[in-house]
Amino acid sequence: MSLMNWFEDKRRFGGLIGAFIEKATKGYIFSEREKDRYIKIDTTKGLWTRCDNCENMLYVRFLRQNKRICEECGYHLQMSSTERIELLIDRGTWYPMDEDMTARDVLKFSDEDSYKNRIAFYQKRTGLTDAIQTGIGQLNGIPIALGVMDFQFMGGSMGSVVGEKITRLIEYATRASMPLIIVCSSGGARMQEGTLSLMQMAKISSVLQIHQAQKRLLYIAILTYPTTGGVTASFGMLGDIIIAEPKAYIAFAGKRVIEQTLRQKIPDGFQVAESLFDHGLLDLIVPRNLLKGVLSEIFELYNAAPCKKFQNSFF
């Protein structure tokens, strides 16, 4: 095989990955035949992958060392929740919470496949029980409560388990007087759970109100590609400080839905992090390789704030 043919095969491989991510983003339903095809594709085990932005071939080993940032164009590729925990939490200080919590198919939802089978498929594929990992750890020696959503598990959709795990994490952080970070990466509420998934928005928002307003504790929301739907409409935009990664797609409804509803064209890049920052919806846009240091400085400023010494006098 010639070198040119070898690279062409790698490009085709990258195209399959791109098609898989596109289907997950758009909420496509996998048939059994498609599952057999895509379950064998794992970018973490291959040698090469392709940048979603500039389409350059990237050596996976170097990509991991570079925190999944393209060395050619600086584009931030998707990370798993485990990789994000390793990025933010000091080694040996991570203590997970509610790892055995799994979803139940209370609505007996079924389309081309049952919800129960779909959950089992993604649990096997990702090694997670649902679309978020929660726990406590230390960030540069500072104890924090951390929740990290994982887009690889059903598009990071927010079901009852995601909502309950986030709620318990916030309640624990409130009792322990710990700052809270939630890394958002989600397509929105999980359609297989119907109204039950939408109820999580109110439940999470209510415990956040206690954490922030009543106890005056810090909550930082980190928005990554993509953050959409019910996650954006609830805890994604409730942070005391809202941070986004460069070029992150952040929206409630998609561009096509907005254009069909308003019957007018919206500009390209309207829902990209830089555009939202220009319109005052975000506080910071922080590259991934600087994120831990920026968070550490924010916590140091928060701990040194004079108002914290007198917070009990407000009640």
Contact between 29 and 113 under an 8 Å Cβ cutoff? The reply is yes
Provide the β-strand partners of residue 221: 182, 242
Contact between 50 and 56 under an 8 Å Cβ cutoff? The reply is yes
Binding residue ranges for Zn(2+): 51, 54, 70, 73
- How far are the Cα atoms of 80, 231, 238, 284, 285 from residue 217, in angstroms, in the given order? 28, 21, 13, 19, 22
Binding residue ranges: 51, 54, 70, 73
Contact between 302 and 218 under an 8 Å Cβ cutoff? The reply is yes
Provide the Cα torsion 55, 60, 63, 65; round to 10°: 180
Provide the β-strand partners of residue 132: 149
Cα separation of 233 and 289, whole Å?
A: 27
Among 273, 195, 181, smallest CA distance to 230 is for: 195
